[in-house]
A and B are shown apart, each in its own frame.
Chain A
Amino acid sequence: MTTEKRPKEGDFLEVFQEVTRLISMVHDPQQVMDLVVRRLPGLLEVDAATIRLLDSGTSTFVLGAACGVSDEYLSRTTIDSSEVMSALMRGLPIAKTGIDLHCDHDGCAFISREGVKGTLSLPILFKGDVIGLLRLLTKNTREFSEAEIAFAMSLAEQVGVAISNSRLFQEMENQVNFFRELREISRLVNSTLDLDRILKTIVEKLPGITGVKGCTIRLLHPATNRLELAAASGLSEEYLYRGSISREDSIFKVLKGEPVSIYDAQNDPRVDYHEAIKKEGIRSILAIPISNESEIIGVLRLLSTEPHFFTAMEINFAVTVAEEGGNAIQKARTYRKITLLFNQIEEHERFLQTILDSLWMQLLVVDPDKRVIMVNKHFLETNSCTEAETLGRLYKFVSPWQTQDTSVSPIATVLTERKPLTVLARLDAETGPQWFERHLAPILDNDGTVSFVVEAVRDITDQKLLEQEKMERMKLQGVIEMAGTAAHELNSPLFAALGTAQLLRDDLPTEEMVEEMDMIIRNMKTMSDLTRKMTAVTGFESREYVGETKIVTLKTEE
């Protein structure tokens, strides 16, 4: 380039107008930066232009846009000498020539290879703060006049205003979108108590809204307090399972409740696994805490494949989504616990019901209003009824043992006296009388009030019949024994009287007296027959056996 070709002061206005006209037409900060670096070299007759933006998280300048230089040159770590960087940070422009010859930092080789000889470095200011750098590069020796520097500085200020305005515009646009999307996400995550569905909704919706590649949610395991991957979208399995991230600096900060925005994820020391990040094509990461009220329960990360400054609005949006999500996650977890408890209770109930149904007795539970609230299977089967016909009905209509006279109802007695009661009930069935033993026991609450009455009813008909039979047998036995005793007591005096009468008969002098004695003897023999019959009930008779031996056999019938 020659000095003759440099823009004259009269041209500055034209260039300034051109630049401001162009940058006022776009609202995307990236477009502003691209436009500036593409158009400035031609307008200011330099070979290349770069814009770097200040990453406030790391206090470093990261590449925003470039034109006219190689990627290799742009990838160098040190941008310029400490003198230049110091001047820029103070908000002062600085021009240098012969930088390929007088280089005192580790980027000299890059400068030399690129053939850069002169630079004009300008701070990009917004409201007095340095928000970036604009660098104009020449590949031949060129001196920048005071007027050019002042002009370039004005341009840089315009760029700063344009970048800030476009950021503001974009943020406002995003804000509108975010409010809409936030409402949608909030509706979705609060419409379900399914934890997996909530997590899936967040990781799938958030990348689309924020324009990033992927999203992950890691939750702290309540038992171990370790982060565990709970949901993810837009990322490979290989990347997701690259290893634990619990020891990353960014995670430490996030778990303290502080969002962390990482512009250059591939090199930033606050994240590990740089190789995996490069392989996955991740450039920027936003990590934010997921909290439920004041308790942090996990980490949400947004991952971008483009270098991206996460704005305060974006961060606020993500934080709000994470808070909504955190509340929904906690609700879903609580619901899960409750469901689990319900299932356990139901299982216990089934177990108890099986036991109650297996009892070989009829069981009823009655509330203080005398309504049946539970019956067991044996009751239903014995009384040929269903639960629907039984539960909720008044006890007097359900119980087959209940009399209509409620004043003597055992249930009423137990409810009043709050003590167990056992009563005997008799039912006259077609097959004959049936007996039941009814045991009624109150269930008392802490205040001693009767909550329920449990009635267990046992069919004791067989037992009762046996008892009756035994009693009748004992009565009969008593009669028989009495008859036998009476017969025995009569036999000896009767024997003496009869024998004496028979002896006396032999000595009587007249026929008439003999006849009278015969009448006495005949009547006493009738009495003897009677005592024999009485003893014969349990008696026996002797009969011939073998030789002179006799055996006795029972008389079966008289």
Chain B
Amino acid sequence: MAEILVLDDVLDAVVLIRKILTKKGHTVHTFTEEEEAIGFAGSNHIDLAILDIKLKKMSGIQVLEQLKKVSPEMKVIMLTGYPTIETAREAIELGAGEYCVKPIDKTELEEKVAEVLAR
């Protein structure tokens, strides 16, 4: 089972993802503040990070860049309600494993997480 970090500015969204993935046996750490999430990842082992692109102070892309600096092996799934070519290209270039568009189905999320972790 994996250590998963979830960062989204919408609290309900992080709570839901935690519920879904906890049921799958993962340990889920949820954050709505970017600095807290980056700080946590710096001092704890994280297998997978699920990041929303639209955050409060930074963008998900900037957080992705920071996390990859702290832990290059960390796998990342980008989650966005407003997909654009630029953010998709940047995310892929910075090492994101998947770029999913909200609203994502519970099953689809479970499958994507399993798939990325299995790589």
Is B12 within 8 A of A552, CB to CB?
no
Look across to chain B and name the residue whose beta carbon is closest to the beta carbon of A532: B101
CA of A26 to CA of B119, assembled, Å? 154
Neighbouring B residues of A494 by C-beta, 8 Å: 102-103
Task: Give the interface size bracket for A toward B.
Answer: 20 to 34
- Number of B interface residues at 8 Å Cβ cutoff, please give it: 32
Binds A, one of B39-47, B56-64, B66-74, B82-90: B82-90
Is B20 positioned at the interface, with any CB of A under 8 Å from its CB?
Answer: yes
A residues in contact with B97, CB < 8 Å: 548
Q: In the complex, are the beta carbons of B88 and A552 less than 8 A apart?
A: yes
From 273 to 292 in chain A, residues with beta carbon under 8 angstroms from any chain B beta carbon are none
The answer for the CA separation of A197 and B116 in the assembled complex, in Å, is 113
Return chain B residues, CB-CB under 8 Å to A554: 85
**Cβ of B8 < 8 Å from any Cβ of A?**
yes
Min CB gap B16→A, angstroms: 4
- Chain A's closest residue to B11 (CB) is A496
Distance, CA A552 to CA B88, complexed state (A): 7
Q: Are B13 and A487 in contact (CB under 8 A)?
A: no
B10 located at the interface, meaning its Cβ lies under 8 Å from any Cβ of chain A in the complex: yes
Report if A484 contacts B (CB, 8 A).
yes
List, in ascending order, chain A residues with CB within 8 A of B84's CB: 538, 540
Further pairs besides A484-B82, A499-B16, A531-B103: 9, Cβ < 8 Å: A490-B81, A492-B102, A495-B104, A499-B109, A502-B106, A503-B20, A552-B88, A552-B89, A554-B85
Instruction: Give the residue of B13, B82, B83, B88 whose beta carbon is less than 8 angstroms from that of A496.
Output: B13
Residue A489 is within 8 A (CB to CB) of chain B in the complex: yes
Known: A496-B13, A498-B105. A488 touches B82 (CB 8 A): yes
Q: CB-CB contacts of A501-542 with B at 8 A, as 1s and 0s? A: 011000000000000000000001100100110010011101
**B15, B17, B81, B99: which contacts A491 (Cβ < 8 A)?**
B81
B82 touching A528, Cβ below 8 Å: no
B19 within 8 A of partner (CB): yes
In the complex, are the beta carbons of A493 and B10 less than 8 A apart?
yes
A550 interfacial contact with B, CB 8 Å:
yes
B8 cross-chain contacts in A, Cβ below 8 A: 492
Chain B residues contacting A538 (CB-CB under 8 Å) are: 84
Q: Any chain A CB within 8 A of the CB of B29? A: no
Q: Is A549 an interface residue (CB 8 A)?
A: yes
The reply to whether A487 and B81 contact each other, CB–CB distance below 8 Å, is yes
Complex: chain B residue closest to A554, CB-CB: B85
> Which residue of chain B has its CB nearest to the CB of A545?
B92
* A502 neighbours in B (Cβ, 8 Å): 105-107
B97 to chain A, nearest CB (A): 8
Chain A hits for B105, CB < 8 A: 498, 502, 525, 528
